[in-house]
Amino acid sequence: MRGAGGLLLAGLLGLMAGLWTWTRPGAEMPPRAGQAVTVHVLNNGFNTDLAVPRAALEAGGGPLADASRSVGLGDWVLIGWGDATFFVDTSPMEGRIPDGLRAFFRPGNPSVVMLDPETGDPARRFPAERRRTLTLSPQAFEGLRGRVEASLALSDGRPRLSMAREGAGARFFASHEHFWIGYLCNAWTARVLNAAGFDIRPLRAVTAGEVVATVDRAAAQA
């Protein structure tokens, strides 16, 4: 029995190690053609956002373009995803701990896609160590854009506004995906990058650092 138990434990540890290091290949892309699109991956410490040129985001039309046109002025749009309550709350963190625990440990939490207009190039606001700049082919960008759009919950083909900050601030649109500890904001960003052709390690993509490492590995391989 002791030998069988040891084999079972070893098997479980091996399975866990394999899942931890498992890599999901990025979506296959045709040879690069056409004008490249610059996208920034922004590391906020806890979570990651994507900074996308507004013109490229809206050029494809559809629900995501409609959502982008509804936000304030700016040549760039920051895109993020998270829990429909915790993500949009800007009150002091010490008063939000119970809600954070709810968001982490209760499965099936509603979520939102954030679109936040930026008047200047985000590369100037985020230092190099907290930013990675991507040069995507049109095909890769369409993969990224399509994955973001696929997160939106639509009503009659249009995005549903969940919450808007005052003035020209961020707008949050309902998403059909669910937030919990098994699927966090950085995991969502990793999957968006995966749709743009980046290899990702899904189970490790719980931290902003792993999302940045995803980009760095691709750059090293290139």
DSSP assignments along 69-80, one per residue: HTS-S-SEEEEE
Residue ranges for the chain with pLDDT beneath 50: 1, 15
Task: Return the pLDDT at 155.
Answer: 95
pLDDT score, position 1: 45
Which tokens in the block code for residue 154? 């639509």
User: CA 222 to CA 218: how far, in whole Å?
Assistant: 6
pTM above 0.75, yes or no: yes
Q: 88: which DSSP letter?
A: T
The tens digit of pLDDT for each residue in 19-65 reads: 556 788 887 876 666 789 999 999 998 999 999 999 999 998 999 99
Angle at 210 between CA 147 and CA 206, to 5 degrees: 70
Residue keyed to tokens 């899942």:
19
Residue 156 is encoded by which pair of tokens? 């009659």
Distance of alpha carbon 44 from alpha carbon 87, whole angstroms: 13
CA distance 144 to 165: 25
pLDDT of residue 15: 46
